[in-house]
Structure formats: C-alpha cells, structure tokens
Chains A and B, each alone.
Chain A
Amino acid sequence: MIRLKGVSRTFPTRDGEVAALRDLDLDIAENQFVAVVGRSGCGKSTLLRLIAGLLEPTGGALTIDGAPVGRPRQDVVLMHQLPALLPWRTALGNVMLPVEIRRLPRDEYRARAADLLDSVGLAGFHQRHPYELSGGMQQRVALCRALIQRPRVLLMDEPFSALDALTREELATQLQAMHLAAPATTVFVTHSIPEAVLLADRVVVLGTRPGRVRRVLDVGIPRPRSFGPNAYVARAAEYVAELHDLLLEE
C-alpha cells in the first residue's frame, strides 16, 4: 500500500520556489494498476521520483506499507521513457545489471532473466547488444530489467512514448498480460488516454501548476482488455471521452 498524504514538492529556481506538486492525497492499494494522466508540467515525473525515493517530499508524508520513503528501496523499480540500456552489455547482461549491483545470486537469476526475455518475445536475442535491437525491443529489455528482482512496486514514466503506435499497443497488451500473471503495484504515467483505459484499475487525473489530484476514475472493464473489437468497446470509448474532456477543460 502506497500512501501519499498532503505531499508537496517544490524546486528552487531563479525566480524563487516553484511547486511541482501541492497537497497531494492518494492511496494506491497492493497490486493495483494506477495510470496517471495530466498535461505537461503537472508533476507526473516528480510523483514517480518521490515514490522511487529519488526525491524527497518538501511537505506531507509518503509511506510504502507504513514506512516513510527516504531513499530508493530494493522492491521499488523505476522504468524510464528511454530504455537506458548499457550499450556494452548484451540484452541478457543488461537484464542482469540489478542482480549484480544488488549482489544477488547470479546463477539463480540468470535463468529468470532468460525466461523474462523469452516471455517478451526476445528468445533469439539474448546475446545481442542494444544497438542491434529496435526501439521496441530495447524497451522490452528495459522492462525485463525492471522485473528481474520481482519488484512489489513498478513505477513507469511514459515507458512506451518513444515507440511507434503499433509497437506501443503491442507492448501495452504484453504489460497487461504480465501484470495479470504476476501482479505488482504499478504506477504508470502516460500521455495516451486509451493506453490508460486499457491498463489501469484507476486513472488519476492531475491538474497543472502546481500538480494536484483533480479526479480519480475507476475503470470497471473486466480483464483481459484489448484494443481490438470486443464487447466493451463502447464503455472504453466513454471512459476515453470523459478523460479527454477532463484534460482539455483545464
């Protein structure tokens, strides 16, 4: 359970303090999938970095399972917009990086790393270097690296935004399948409303300058969901339209 109570974060700038987030209240239940949407400058990335322990709140309280977050935790993983792979390591080597840095038993995790890569469709690419892989494949490797230590909390900062539309949908569907198979509490920042509706149990709409929660929308569509023709297309479209208006009217 992630709990934010009156969380604020300001940054010093030349024109004085600027608030990125102000008085944010949000509870995220165990294994829930929460999508965060909002216009640029609503503090979405700041929110993720606070939960990741890379930034400290300047006000309020942020706890995971009751413990205040002050620095990065082993069971919380942040995934970036860019794959951030090490170019001198193979796909498998990149997935193993957290294992080496955390000094976990390598032999045990190597099999898991290989399984993860297989599960995202990179079966023949374990020994390839990032520059030999497409953008979508690189982001899949980054996803495997995020999942290698079985995180309880997965934070994703627009992870698919640098990909083409089809690859993006493919990866979102794959992420949904992985979440159903091995659930983790997930906070997923995105600019794509359909992506949020496909993936999330709840969609949090943030307002801008300073960032605050404007609305929390529960998505009541049964899983597994799909972008293709299905029985819930009309309901999904309603959610999308509602979120669209919410974002535009600000």
Chain B
Amino acid sequence: MNRWSPPVLGTLGAVALWWGATAVFGIRPLFLPAPPDIVAAFRAQPGYLMRAAGATLGVTAAGFAIAVVTGLLVAVALTASRTLERAALPVLVALNSVPKVAIAPLLVVWLGFGSQPKIVLVLLICVFPVVVATMAGLTSTPAELGELGRSLSASGWQTYVKIRLPWALPQMFTGLKVAVSLAVIGAVVAEISQPGGGLGAVVVLSGMSFDTPLAFAAIVLLALLSTALFYLVVGLERLLVPWARAISG
C-alpha cells in the first residue's frame, strides 16, 4: 500500500456508500441525488459552475491574503507592547464572538453590492485564528535565543526578522490551516446573503428552483475548493518550514 492509497480508498469508499444508499433505499434525486446525477448536473452547465467557482475562489483568496497580512501585523503589534495587548485583546475577542452571519447584511449596507463586502466578511471570519496562532508563536521564542539576540545588540527589527518571526512560522501555519477553511465558509456565507455570484449563490438559486443535483454540484465544488486550498497551505508549510517537522520529532 503506497502513501496515496488510504486517502483515495477512503474517498472512493464514502462515494460508493452514498451511491449505494440512494440506490438501495430508492431515494429520489430531489432529496438526495446520486453521484451520477451530480456529474450530469455539472456537465449540463460546466461554464456557469466554473465561473461561479472562480468567483468564490477570488473572494476567498483575496480575503484570506488580507487576513494573513493583517493577522501578522496585529500579532506583531500586540506582542511588541504588553500594554497594547492588554488593551486590544479583549476587544478582539469580543469582536470575534459576534456571529459573522449577522454582519453579512450590514456589510452590504456599508459597502454596497460588490465583492468588497464579501472580501471583508472573509477577512473578519478568518483573521482571528491567524492573530492568535501568530501571537502564540511570537511569544514562544526560547529564552536562550532571546538572550542571543540581546547579547549581539540586535535591533528590534533584526530580532523579529532573524529570530522571532521564523521561530513563529510553524505555529502561524497552524492558524493558517484553520483560517483557510474558515475563509471558504466566509465567502459562501457572504454569497448566500447577497446571491449575486459565486457557488453560494448557485446553492441558494438552485434550492429555490428545487434543482437539488445542481445545488449538490456546487457543494461538491466547494468541498474540492476548500480541500485544495487546505493542502496548498500544507504544501507551502513544508516548503517554508521543513525544519519544524524535523525538530518536533
């Protein structure tokens, strides 16, 4: 058994179970379409679905990228000043506990009907794990490395760039892996509340017209998109911090 067979067999097994259930219990496609119905729905209008997927991917990627940069900057600022951390962290935690679904319509009021409110929603929903994970990484610099920096009279900038930030990267990536899945969810929530485009809109519109196979085709594409983005982050992690796996045994 090579390293690819367990995930492939697992996925195929799940699809087979689903297909078997629809066939054995005679479930109508309106309630739960079988895999061939979904493939058929996709092949009926591939251009439409791929454009929708592209729109969702664009919103997700833009919001996620802004969240990574913002989260990193906020984490650096909060760990640089103890006072700032104590002043700002409770506000951040409170803001994070606001249900983002409830904000989605408000964002449309504030920012209009474009991709802007969607990108902002993605940012809001996925920035928090980036901040928390990066802060944890930045405050975990071993004492001897901190002293090394001080004994070399390293400037604050040098300490961050050469010691603290690289040390924080493995923990930051833990946050990024959580955040990237949340980013897709954020994009879909935004598209459902303002169904002007994207896979979320496809789900809403096809649900209204009882086209369940089309809705499922959109959902499957979302799952594929989310999985691909997750493993993209994993790949980036292996590329940038190969040492993290080696030193954590």
Q: Is the interface of A mostly helix, strand, loop or mixed?
A: loop
In whole angstroms, what is the CA distance A129 to B246 when docked?
10
A131 touches B247 (CB 8 A): yes
Contact partner of A88 (CB less than 8 A), chosen from B152, B153, B154, B166, is: B166
Residues on A with beta carbons closer than 8 Å to the beta carbon of B142: 84
Instruction: Determine how close the nearest CB of chain B comes to the CB of A160; give it in whole angstroms.
Output: 15
* A78 CA to B162 CA, complexed, in Å: 19
Interface flag for A101 (CB, 8 Å): yes
> Cα distance A131–B154 when bound, in Å?
25
Q: Kindly provide the distance from the CB of A72 to the nearest chain B CB, expressed in whole angstroms.
A: 5
Q: How far is the CA of A87 from the CA of B163 in the complex (A)?
A: 10
Known contacts A88-B241, A129-B243, A82 near B151 by CB under 8 Å: no
- Chain A interface residue number, banded: 20 to 34
B130-172 to A contact mask, C-beta < 8 Å, 1/0: 0000000000001011011111111000100011001100000
Interface residues of A in 54-84 (CB under 8 A from B): 54, 71-72, 74, 77-78, 80, 82, 84
The DSSP consensus for interface residues of chain B is helix
* Contact status B145-A86, CB under 8 Å: yes
Which residues of chain A have C-beta atoms less than 8 A from B150's C-beta? Answer: 54, 72
A24 to chain B, nearest CB (A): 21
A231 to B167, CA, bound (A): 50
If A87-B247, A88-B241, A131-B243 touch, whether A97 touches B152 (CB-CB below 8 Å) is: yes
| A184–B150 CA distance with the chains assembled, in angstroms | 22
- Chain B, Cβ-Cβ closest to A83: B144
- Interface bits B211-243 vs A (CB < 8 Å: 1, else 0): 000000000000000000000000000000101
- Enumerate chain A residues within 8 angstroms of B147, measured Cβ to Cβ: 54, 78, 80, 84
Could you tell me if A86 and B151 are in contact, using CB atoms closer than 8 angstroms?
no
Smallest distance from the beta carbon of A162 to chain B beta carbons, Å? 12
Q: Which residues of B contact A78 (CB under 8 A)?
A: 147, 151
A→B interface (CB under 8 Å): 52-54, 71-72, 74, 77-78, 80, 82, 84, 86-88, 97-98, 100-102, 129-132
Q: Which residues of B contact A (CB under 8 A)?
A: 142, 144-145, 147-154, 158, 162-163, 166-167, 241, 243-244, 246-247
